[in-house]
Amino acid sequence: HHTTANPKPVFIVGFMGSGKTTWGRKLADKTGRTFIDLDEVIVQEIGMPIAAYFTEYGEHAFRELESRTLKNIAPDLPAVVSTGGGTPCYFDNMAWMNRHGITIYFQLPPKALWSRLMQTDIGTRPALNGLSGPELLDYITAKLAERAPYYEQASYTVNQLAVRPEELIALIK
Ligand code: S3P
């Protein structure tokens, strides 16, 4: 008999490369919640990769679409939602997530984000502006400093290098 004590959605926030999607999926599986990848919902809706949407319509249009898509998530759905790296930083998205669910910030130092992002396809991430190498590290460091004040508004901050799945599960029970 499987019940979710807390029916509110869980929103995972954090920088690109912090493991939101990988861990969000695991967490949903282990707790019987529905997994939602916000970027994936947007891609389904627009029918093109996010990078292509950025190029064609610009970042502002993307941010409006992202905010609308976020706020369309049913407030009574016991889901784990992995958000985009920029989601909490625009409009009132962070306050909205705090009002409607449980928020968890996956925190990682710039160097760890950098080495993870260097291993992925940088071209699919428009927010990285095609940078690589030491320039990418500088960019991540600056961007994280700008975004941290939003991420830090989350109900919980976890060190993503040290956290164990059981600890995360305990947070949302
Ligand atoms: C972005 C992060 C991406 C995606 C978009 C913009 C950002 O999500 O929403 O490319 O501004 O940090 P991930 O954090 O899942 O890569």
Pick the range with the lowest mean pLDDT from 2-11, 40-49, 59-68, 158-167.
2-11
Is the CATH number of domain 10-172 3.40.50.300? Answer: yes
Whether 74 contacts 30, CB under 8 Å: no
Q: Is 37 in the pocket of ligand 1 (CB under 6 A)?
A: no
**Alpha-carbon separation of residue 102 from 64, 119, 171 (angstroms):** 22, 30, 9
Expressed in angstroms and rounded, the spacing between residue 55 Cα and the centre of ligand 1 is 14
Q: Which atom of ligand 1 is nearest to the CA of 87?
A: 9
Residue 4's pLDDT is 55
Q: Specify binding-site residues for Mg(2+).
A: 21
Q: What is the pTM of this model?
A: 0.95
The ipTM of this complex is: 0.98
Judged against a pLDDT cut of 70, whether residue 1 lies above it is answered with no
Dist CA 92 CA 53 (whole Å) = 22
Q: What percent of the chain shows pLDDT beyond 70?
A: 97
Question: Which protein residue's CA is at the shortest distance from atom 15 of ligand 1?
Answer: 84
Q: What is the pLDDT of residues 149-173, one digit of tens each?
A: 999 999 999 999 999 999 999 999 8
User: Once rounded to an integer, what is the mean pLDDT over residues 121-136?
Assistant: 87
